[in-house]
Amino acid sequence: MVNALIKLNDETNKVLNIVKAQNGLKDKGEAVEFVVHRYLEEPELKTEFVQKIKKIEKQKSIRVKDFEQRYDI
């Protein structure tokens, strides 16, 4: 394990304290590790996917009262 001395702005310090408290972590080092692991778990969205979703969001939707009946389920 590496020891690191880091400078944090007030906002980052507050966020790490909240992460630490909400997740029962012992210190800010564990909070930093927690945040980094969460970041690594998040998949990056490809530009093509984002554009496709935006295009779909603009399409007109239809109301369905009974999903099973409409799609013969």
> Encoding tokens for residue 40?
């690594």
pLDDT band at 4 (very low <50, low <70, confident <90, very high): confident
Q: Is 0.85 topped by the overall pTM?
A: no
Coil, helix or strand at residue 58: helix
> Encoding tokens for residue 29?
């080092």
Tell me what the mean pLDDT of segment 38-67 comes to. Answer: 84
Answer yes or no: are the C-beta atoms of 8 and 16 closer than 8 Å: yes
Answer yes or no: are the C-beta atoms of 25 and 31 closer than 8 Å: yes
Of 21, 28, 30, 24, nearest to 7 by C-alpha is 28
